[in-house]
Copies of this chain bind each other. A is one copy, B any other.
Amino acid sequence: MNKVSKRQTTTAETKSKLFDSALTLFSDKSYAATSIRDIIQLAGVTQPTLYYHFSDKADLFQKLVEHHYGQSQQQLIQLVQETEGLRERLLALLIRSFEFCAADPRIPKLMFQTYYGPSIPEVSDTIETLTTSRFQLVVDVMKQGIKAGELTDSNPEFLALSFCCLMDQPINLFSRKPDPSQYLTQELAAAIVELFLNGAASSD
């Protein structure tokens, strides 16, 4: 005997289809360039159905963002807790982020569209919070690296910014290509960590 009724099941599927269509379109065309009609057409429903599940376009967007960001954010925090050593942590962060992208490139694409695109007043607070939270995670990793003597005693915010650049830009670049996992390999992750820690200059 199923706990959920037939109605609840199909309803959840409708909502899921709307989320999926919105993710596809928002990540490809941005929030502003995607219309409600684009979304409902791809989901195979009508406009009042969307407005039954979400109060308006901004609400759909916000719930979409919170859904996907919350998940990956929590996993990254846990990943750092489970890992020891600066190099290991940075590598783990990179590989896990690459895996996220390979699993569904639409999510980083949405993230970048949202972050670089025009601010959407209704959700800019949510975005700000999530962005800051992830950055702070990397800052904390750097602070611990400095304390452990694994890093030069410089500005941890600068180090975090630098590492985030080296992590995010390749994800952003390759998430736009047909098969991101082809580029976002463990080898690339290792090369980025190596560059971040030891630089590109010849050692002699």
Contacts and interface: CB of A to CB of B under 8 A. Distances in A.
Interface string A109-150: 000110111100000000000000000000000000000011
Contacts of A165: 165-166, 168-170
A111 B202 CA distance: 33
Interface residues of A, number: 43
B158 A191 contact: yes
A37 interface: no
Contacts of A42: none
A201 B200 contact: no
A92 interface: no
Contacts of A4: none
Per assembly, the copies of the chain total 2
Given A166-B162, A168-B169, A151 B200 contact: yes
- Consensus secondary structure, chain A interface: helix
Interface stretch (A27-35, A50-58, A66-74): A27-35
B158 A169 contact: no
Interface of A: 28-30, 32-33, 112-113, 115-118, 149-154, 158-159, 161-166, 168-170, 172-173, 188, 191-192, 195-204
Given A150-B202, A196-B200, A198-B201, 8 more contacts: A29-B118, A151-B200, A152-B203, A158-B191, A161-B170, A195-B196, A197-B200, A198-B198
